[in-house]
Amino acid sequence: MSIAAEEQQASHEHSHGAPSGLKRWLYTTNHKDIGSLYLLFSLLMFLTGGAMAMVIRAELFQPGMQLVDPHFFNQMTTVHGLVMVFGAVMPAFTGLANWMIPMMIGAPDMALPRMNNWSFWILPFAFAILLMSLFMEGGGPAFGWTFYAPLSTTYSNDNTALFVFAVHIMGISSIMGAINVIVTIVNMRAPGMTWMKLPLFVWTWLITAFLLIAVMPVLAGAVTMVLTDKYFGTSFFDAAGGGDPVMFQHIFWFFGHPEVYIMILPAFGIISTIVPTFSRKKLFGYASMVYATSSIALLSFVVWAHHMFTTGMPLAGELFFMYATMLISVPTGVKVFNWVATMWRGAISFEIPMMFAIAFIVLFTLGGFSGLMLAITPADFQYHDTYFVVAHFHYVLVTGAVFSIMAAAYYWLPKWTGNMYSETLAQWHFWMSLISVNVLFFPMHFVGLAGMPRRIPDYALQFADFNAIISVGGFVFGLSQLLFVAVVFKCIRGGESVPNKVWDGAEGLEWEVASPAPYHTFSKPPKVD
């Protein structure tokens, strides 16, 4: 369907008794409107969580206590993690799913449009509750985003109740969104859209939605047990009452490890869409990508205790989780191989989405290698709870999930808005982000290997130089994202109209494009045999 036809359809839907202005956004059941709401909300949360990261890095710029007290530092590390995971990355992917899945499978809208509206509008309230807890007497949650017992039970204050309520609402939103995705893909595909013809983004989201439905109730159980231990006298995680604090870790990570893949599988779908487009080739090994994604999802349920090697599990348990974790790297390696094989001998055009995609492939792979190091049980005893772990998961979540979201935004913004983004600003954003993100996270490997513990507001003098460099990288990366905000809003407000840019500079050539980028300028014509 062309943009004009889509706009005509949308105006027809909204002209028949639909409210206008603010009410239109409140009551909308249009998948594009809801997708836009999710994306704008996730951008706001990204900036909020980023501001907290700036507080963390400002405090760590020098050894000693400078700016904030240790309790507030702990609140920042906790809420930064929660906001980035549940408020920035997951809603961004859900927004992309809302926008693109119906169009990719030929559906007029999502299957359950009213539930779609509801699943979005409970999110701002969840995060308002979470962020307002920071202004309570005694401050907000300060027990880490993993909220381990007994920190979240015995040693927390009454912000725990608000935190638990907020997490429940986020979980409800995720489950409703996942149900919507599954029902839409299963029931509303266009005639002829068989399973093995689905775009990879649709496949990855379908598998992600099943993961969400499987693990969100586990998170709900964990936070409910924390709530009852804290306020109702139960002893699930209290050894004095016959409970076990390590059981909390098992329950949390049984949710938490599939959650990690919930935050990266849609990214794989995005990269599998962008790389073929700008390589002018079909995706190499489509079927193997589908099977690899499915096997990652299945294996994600049997690796949770690799977060817990230092809790004293039996040797057989350590060996099982070590081998399972090493095994899950295989299907991920298949994906990286397929992306590289897709680019091999392609007529690559280095547009901004492709540059973010290539950065994703290189840096996500680097994060995967450090994850493989952490999988080795005896080595993990050394790395555990150091900045090496922080470096690892930020490489897979920032240069992984966040870079893929930025790649998707640049790739689809012209389709969403009808306007081309500013190439100059986008180039500045990419290069500043790429350089600063590595200055920020790469030295963390070194301070981690040297034994610097994470989540601590002070550190030994020998780590001072590296921490100053890390913090400078953090400040530059944070400022770079303001360029992204400028690009997005400039593109929404106007700019050069897309149709004038399509195939610019390639007139008179005839070629076949396997997976065309409908609204992108290619900087050079593809090779013609």
- Work out the average pLDDT over 193-205: 97
Distance CA 308, CA 302 (A): 13
Residue 447 pLDDT grade (very low, low, confident, very high; cuts 50, 70, 90): very high
Question: Is 59 one of the catalytic residues?
Answer: no
By the 8 A CB rule, do 279 and 517 touch? Answer: no
Question: Is 257 one of the catalytic residues?
Answer: yes
Whether 486 is covered by a domain: the verdict is yes
Q: Which of 57, 168, 257, 392 is catalytic?
A: 257
Whether 327 is covered by a domain: the verdict is yes
Q: Which of 230, 306, 392, 520 is catalytic?
A: 306
Residue with tokens 């935004």: 409
- Work out the average pLDDT over 206-222: 98
Q: What is the pLDDT of residue 494?
A: 81
Whether 53 is covered by a domain: the verdict is yes
CA distances from 112 to 6, 31, 35, 191 (A): 19, 10, 14, 20
Q: Which of 80, 189, 230, 445 is catalytic?
A: 80
Distance CA 22, CA 28 (A): 10
CA distances from 21 to 13, 14, 29, 419, 489 (A): 15, 11, 14, 22, 19
CA 489 to chain CA centroid, Å, is: 21
Question: How many residues are there in the chain?
Answer: 529
Distance CA 99, CA 420 (A): 18
Stronger pLDDT, 513 or 460, i.e. the higher one: 460
Q: What is the pLDDT of residue 138?
A: 87
Helix (DSSP H) and strand (DSSP E) numbers for the chain: 18, 0
Q: What is the pLDDT of residue 259?
A: 97
Residues of the domain holding 262: 28-511
Q: Which of 307, 394, 445, 520 is catalytic?
A: 307
Q: Which of 174, 342, 365, 386 is catalytic?
A: 174
Whether 19 is covered by a domain: the verdict is no
- 211 class by beta-carbon count within 10 Å (0-12 exposed, 13-18 middle, 19+ buried): buried
DSSP state of 529: -
Query: How big is the CA angle at 133 (ends 71 and 176), to the nearest 5 degrees?
Result: 125
Question: Is 25 one of the catalytic residues?
Answer: no
Q: Which of 208, 272, 293, 521 is catalytic?
A: 272
Question: Is 496 one of the catalytic residues?
Answer: no
Report residue 527 as tokens. 């090779």
Percentage with pLDDT > 70 across the chain:
90
Question: Is 14 one of the catalytic residues?
Answer: no
The domain spanning residue 416 has which CATH number? 1.20.210.10
Q: What is the pLDDT of residue 25?
A: 84
Whether 12 is covered by a domain: the verdict is no
Residue with tokens 């986008």: 426
By the 8 A CB rule, do 418 and 378 touch? Answer: no
Helix, strand, or coil here: 324?
helix
Question: Is 71 one of the catalytic residues?
Answer: no
Helix, strand, or coil here: 97?
helix
Q: Which of 33, 59, 109, 351 is catalytic?
A: 109
Q: Which of 25, 118, 121, 145 is catalytic?
A: 145
Number of domains in the chain: 1
Q: What is the pLDDT of residue 13?
A: 52
Q: Which of 253, 261, 387, 395 is catalytic?
A: 261
Q: What is the pLDDT of residue 2?
A: 44
Whether 526 is covered by a domain: the verdict is no
From the list 286, 266, 212, the residue with the least C-alpha distance to 98 is 266
pLDDT tens per residue, range 292-310: 999 999 999 999 999 999 9
**pLDDT for residue 506 is more than 90:** no
Q: What is the CA radius of gyration of the chain?
A: 23
- Work out the average pLDDT over 391-415: 97
Question: Is 335 one of the catalytic residues?
Answer: yes
E strand or H helix at 36, and its extent?
A: helix 31-59
CA distances from 295 to 192, 195, 213 (A): 26, 17, 17
Q: What is the pLDDT of residue 5?
A: 47
Q: What is the pLDDT of residue 1?
A: 47
Question: Is 109 one of the catalytic residues?
Answer: yes
- Work out the average pLDDT over 410-423: 94
Q: Which of 78, 160, 208, 332 is catalytic?
A: 332
Q: Which of 33, 59, 229, 259 is catalytic?
A: 259
Q: Which of 335, 384, 501, 520 is catalytic?
A: 335
Give this prediction's pTM.
0.91
Residue 501 pLDDT grade (very low, low, confident, very high; cuts 50, 70, 90): low
Question: Is 306 one of the catalytic residues?
Answer: yes
Q: Which of 152, 160, 173, 184 is catalytic?
A: 173
Q: Which of 14, 454, 455, 490 is catalytic?
A: 454
Whether 15 is covered by a domain: the verdict is no
Stronger pLDDT, 505 or 221, i.e. the higher one: 221
pLDDT tens per residue, range 3-25: 444 444 554 554 455 556 788 88
DSSP state of 419: B
Distance CA 434, CA 293 (A): 27
pLDDT tens per residue, range 138-188: 899 999 999 999 999 999 999 999 999 999 999 999 999 999 999 999 999
Q: What is the pLDDT of residue 133?
A: 95
Whether 21 is covered by a domain: the verdict is no
Phi-psi region of 365 (alpha: psi -120 to 50; beta: other; left: phi over 0): alpha
Percentage with pLDDT > 90 across the chain:
87
